[in-house]
């Protein structure tokens, strides 16, 4: 349930990133002058960075369970790979550069 909510938030944030090119040129976390929605979503990379350790711990525990179906395990692995690629991308675009 939490992973699906996080995935929905990330999908929304990716849409915000695609439609607002100015986010890449300003300091992180980005503060939009007219939209509190965009300003709040700019903290999502930090939330993902904090949540990646518990998510990975849960994934490892879930994969060790032999009763679960293989397609569910595969979907969980793909979701975690998307999270890791997102963190790498956020770091590349400088969305974690709070002190810079």
Given a cut of 90, whether residue 41 has pLDDT beyond it is no
Average pLDDT, the chain: 83
Give the distance, in angstroms, between the CA of residue 7 and the centroid of all CA atoms in the same chain. Answer: 7
Cα distances (angstroms) measured from residue 9 to each of 2, 39, 42, 60, 83: 11, 14, 11, 23, 12
| Most confident segment among 1-5, 11-15, 53-57, 67-71 | 53-57
């Amino acid at each position: 349930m939490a992973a699906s909510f996080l995935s929905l938030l990330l999908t929304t944030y990716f849409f915000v990133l695609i439609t607002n090119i100015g986010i890449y040129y300003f300091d992180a976390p980005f503060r939009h002058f007219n939209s509190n929605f965009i300003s709040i979503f700019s903290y999502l990379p930090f939330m993902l960075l904090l949540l990646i350790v518990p998510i990975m711990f849960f994934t490892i525990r879930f994969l060790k369970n032999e009763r679960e179906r293989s397609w569910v395990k595969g979907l969980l692995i793909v979701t975690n790979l998307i999270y890791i690629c997102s963190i790498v991308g956020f770091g590349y675009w400088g969305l974690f550069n709070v002190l810079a």
